[in-house]
């Protein structure tokens, strides 16, 4: 994997998260952090502990908003 998520990687990760039933697919969003570097945004219905473990295994960074409404996954 590259240092940052490209669009293909972001989509592949999103599919894997959904396939493992770690996120509710009703609100998943891929956005561009900076040109050609993407992030995945998940709204409230997610399995945090399992996603943290998934992120560690895949060298991803997770950021959660203070109200815990959104979880953002990306690479630094």
- Of 52, 29, 39, nearest to 4 by C-alpha is 39
pTM of the complete model beyond 0.85: no
**pLDDT by residue, tens only, the chain of 76 residues:** 456 889 999 999 988 988 888 887 778 888 888 888 899 888 877 788 898 899 999 999 999 888 878 888 998 8
pLDDT score of 27: 80
């Amino acid at each position: 994997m590259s240092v940052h998520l490209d669009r293909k990687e972001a989509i592949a990760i999103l599919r894997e998260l959904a396939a493992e039933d770690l996120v509710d697919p009703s609100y998943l969003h891929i956005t561009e952090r900076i040109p050609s570097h993407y992030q995945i945004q998940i709204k409230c219905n997610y399995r945090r502990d399992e996603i943290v473990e998934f992120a560690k295994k895949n060298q991803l960074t997770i950021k959660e908003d203070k109200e815990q409404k959104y979880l953002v996954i990306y690479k630094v």
